[in-house]
Amino acid sequence: MKLPIYIVDAFTNTQFKGNSAAVVLLDTWLDDGVMQSIAIENNLSETAFISIKGHNAYDIRWFSPITEIDFCGHATLAASFVLFEYYQVTGEIQFSTDKVGDLFISRQPTGFIEMKFPNQEPEPVLDIPSELLAGLSKKPIEVLKNRQAYFAIFETEEDVTSLQYESEALKSLAPLDVVVTATGDKYDFVSRYFWPANGGDEDPVTGSIHSGLTPYWSKKLNKTELKAYQASFRGGELFCSIVGEQVLVSGQAVVYLTGTIDI
């Protein structure tokens, strides 16, 4: 069996920036163990597997090199880019997921890909885990959490970019990951994302966490449209907005590699 595979840099228009994801198109689902093995072999933040359901409708699943992931934004953007760019899909794409419902994706006239995500606004944490504080080199001014991660809030962009982390301490917070964030100098807000229990030490750009960051900063900054930057080594730009009960996250993508997998 030969499976088409694409490697895409998401949330950037420049190769070797943003966050890389592999996209594998399937006629029928493979065994979970095989999909996990493919993700391990790819050794990227995520491998997205998509299977067609109907016109512009697909099932999607995401695997890190460690485990299946409930929700991944950058690999969703990458999968959408592949469908728009290589399969002549037009109009709105619907991705069905097990954990976060249906995701609706469209390509804007500017070329940006816009993803409609559920609003996953975090809530304040009163009893801050000691492992979280031990895992970060600076103490946050506020801590919140949602179903995905702890949100450690800092005063300045410098606090975020200079912060050091201890993976083993943060790993003990599983199944939750950790995002650190502050208002930005050139952007409305910046962030970094650590997920040693689920994928790796630091994720280059994490689309899904912006379903929580956007409502948080929207209220803090009294803005419904925000420009964000994930300040990893590779870095990535995200354009975020609140529309009703949904969070819209937009970005660009560029293909790095196309090929096939022999199974």
Give the catalytic positions in this structure.
46
CA angle 195, 200, 205 (to 5 degrees): 70
Three-class DSSP labels, the chain: CEEEEEEEEECCCCCCCCEEEEEEEECCCCCHHHHHHHHHHHCCCEEEEEEEEECCEEEEEEECCCCEECCCHHHHHHHHHHHHHHCCCCCCEEEECCCCCEEEEEECCCCCEEEEEECCCCEECCCCCHHHHHHECCCCCEEEECCCEEEEECCCHHHHHHCCECHHHHHCCCCCEEEEEEECCCCCEEEEEEECCCCEEEECCCCCCHHHHHHHHHHHHCCCEEEEEECCCCCEEEEEEEECCEEEEEECEEEEEEEEEEC
The distance in angstroms from the start CA to the end CA of the chain is: 5
CA 75 to the chain's CA centroid: 7
Is the bond preceding residue 175 a cis peptide, omega within 30 degrees?
A: yes
Torsion sign, CA atoms 214, 150, 233, 99: negative
